[in-house]
Amino acid sequence: MNATVRNAFKPLASLKLTVVLLACGIFLIFSGTWAQIDMGIWTTLKTYFRAFFVWIPFAIFLPRHWNVHGGIPFPGGWLIGGLLMLNLITAHTVRFRYTRKRLGILLIHFGLVLLLCGELVTGIFADEARMSIDEGQTVNYAEDTRNVELAIIDPSGAQTDHVVVVPESRLRHRGRIQDARLPFVLQVEAFYPNAELVDGTELTAAGAGLGPVADRGFAASLGARARPRPSVSGVDQDEIDLPAAYITVLADGESRGTYLAALYFSLMPRFGPQDVVVGDKTYRMALRYVRDYKPYSISLLDFEHDRYLGTETPRNFSSRIRLVDATQNEDREVLIYMNNPLRYRGETFYQASFKQGDTGTVLQVVRNPGWLLPYIACTLGALGMIVHFGMHLKRFLRRTRTA
């Protein structure tokens, strides 16, 4: 390489930059940990680690009742990680001499590059969903519990239902939704990312500002209204956002009733989808978690929740399932339990949770094309350190022996 080019890259390859970036990384991670007290892991992930810049408020490090304002802008995870990578690569191109003594360091650094790549791949491509199955039930879809969709189901087919879904982003824009497959138009009156259902009959003047009222469906028969709430922070792991939307069904330019579609109804077995009658045909409507249909199905044969002798401390959760995949000619039983997931078709199924009364299981379904990278990275890094520090130790031992 040309000497001038080499000199130009020197600052970028310097150890000083490495140290500064490591220090920045330490501060970022430290702040990102404190932020989780109020923000919840997913929001933190997006604002601190998978971001180029982040605003770090001073208040996160201090007791909340002090009400401290202000903060500092700081490089985010993508920026620090990217610069570290650049620093590492330029260091190896312009500064390093490749000798046997450097073998360990080379291995460690290559492992680190792989590790950072793995995090990049995960950040961009990884996908997480849930499958919740009752004992005896068969399910062929996973649910994305961070997004909802409005499903209009036509149950008149002999073998299968016909489903038209409206994504959450479309609901947020409100307005009219038309689809050639539906003989009616949907008018989104309101969409709340998180709402609680309240008894409309008990609302007095305060209820006046609540927006639309449903005159059909569950909400009409219960007299329920949706009251918007702020989104859940995430520290409270027991609480989830419960979106709701008011939908008016229009046919031939005329209103056929306003419905309250709420995730709450979909999650409660005694509700489920509600009937929408248009003309002489009955459709069903539900605001539910986004479903990702699979070419295979999973039936839950048995769910077990073992406890330690004489206590309520869980010892193990396990799900005995039957996996059926016609496209692969697959039909077999699998036991999924803690620390023993099922890997199938590039997806991994973990025992994540269970339904009340141990009547069903909740499996976490993860697709992460980069899952193998950390394993390789770890092996390389550990090997590199053992080689490098081993050489140090050998030298040290030789010196003390001769001394």
Partner 1 sequence: MKVPAAARVLPWVGVLLALLYVASAFRPPRDGVMPLSRAAGMPVVDLGRTKPLDTFARSTLLIVSGRQSFYLAGTDGTSERKEAKGHERRPALAWLLDVMARPEQARGYRVVRVDHPDLKALLGAERERKYFSVDEIVQHREALEAQIQRATQLPAGSRDHYQRAVVDLAQKLTLVFNVEDWANLLLVPPLDPAAPDAWGSIASAEHQAQEHGNTSPATAAWTGTLQAWRSQESAAFAAAPAAYMEWLRSAPTVHGSRMRTELLFNRSAPFLHALGLYVIVFILASLSWLRLSRSLATTALWVLGVGLAMHTFGLVVRTYVQGRPPVTNLYSSAIFVGWGGAVLGLFLERFYRNGVGAATAAGMGFLTLLVAHNLSLDGDTMTMMQAVLDTNFWLATHVVVITLGYASTFLAGFLGILYILRGVLTRSLTAQEQVNLPRMIYGILCFATLFSFVGTILGGIWADQSWGRFWGWDPKENGALLIVLWNALILHARWGGMIRQRGLAVMAVAGNIVTSWSWFGTNMLGVGLHAYGFIDSAIFWMFTFVATQLAIIGTGLVPLHRWRSLQPAVKTATSPSSPQGASQRPGSRRPATPLAPPAPESPR
Strand order in the sheet with 175-177: 175-177, 185-192, 244-251, 254-262
- Which are the contacts of 294, defined by CB distance < 8 A and separation ≥ 6? 140, 141, 142
Options 3, 180, 205, 309; binder of partner 1; rule CB under 8 A: 309
Which listed range, 173-181, 261-269, 303-311, 321-329, lies at the site for partner 1 (CB under 8 A)?
303-311
- Residues 225-264 close enough to bind partner 1 by CB under 8 A: 235
Of 187 and 348, which CB lies nearer to partner 1 in the complex structure? Answer: 348
* Residue that the structure tokens 């199955």 belong to: 133
Find the angle CA(358)-CA(265)-CA(364) to the nearest 5 degrees: 45
Q: Which one, of 271, 262, 260, 269, lies nearest residue 289 by Cα?
A: 262
Q: Measure Cα distances from 234 to 28, 37, 136, 237 in Å.
A: 20, 9, 32, 6
Q: Does 317 bind partner 1 (CB under 8 A)?
A: yes
Q: Where are the beta strands (DSSP E) in 229-329?
A: 244-251, 254-262, 274-278, 281-307, 314-325
Q: What is the CA radius of gyration of the chain?
A: 28
* Least Cβ distance, residue 77 to partner 1 (angstroms): 9
Residue showing tokens 């923000």? 39
Size of the site for partner 1 (CB under 8 A): 60
User: Measuring CA to CA, which residue among 122, 179, 116 is closest to residue 152?
Assistant: 179
Of residues 124 and 393, the one with the C-beta less far from partner 1: 393
Tell me if residue 269 falls in helix, strand or coil: coil
Q: From the list 206, 277, 396, 398, which residue makes contact with partner 1 (rule: CB under 8 A)?
A: 396
5 binds partner 1 (CB under 8 A): no
SS3 for 204? coil
- Least distance in Å: CB of 294 to partner 1? 16
Q: Could you tell me the two tokens for 318?
A: 């396990």
| CA–CA distance, 368 with 275 (Å, rounded to integer) | 38
Residue 11 in contact with partner 1, rule: CB under 8 A: no
Binding mask 113-152 for partner 1 (x = CB under 8 A): --x--xx--x-----x------------------------
> Which one among 6, 18, 78, 141 touches partner 1, defined by CB under 8 A?
18
Among 5, 8, 11, 26, binds partner 1 (CB under 8 A): 26
Nearer to partner 1, 31 or 248 (CB): 31
* Residue 204 or 313 with smaller CB distance to partner 1: 313
We find the least distance from the C-beta atom of residue 391 to partner 1, in angstroms, to be 10
CA dist 237 and 321 (Å) reads 27
Binder of partner 1 out of 29, 68, 124, 277 (CB under 8 A):
29
Q: Which residues pair with 177 in a beta bridge?
A: 186
Interface with partner 1 (CB under 8 A), residue from 5, 375, 394, 398: 375
Query: Interface with partner 1 by CB under 8 A: which residues?
Result: 14-16, 18-19, 22-23, 25-26, 29-30, 32-34, 36-37, 41, 44-45, 48-49, 115, 118-119, 122, 128, 235, 307-311, 313-317, 338-339, 341, 348, 350, 352, 364, 366, 368, 371, 374-375, 377-378, 381-382, 385-386, 389, 392-393, 396, 400
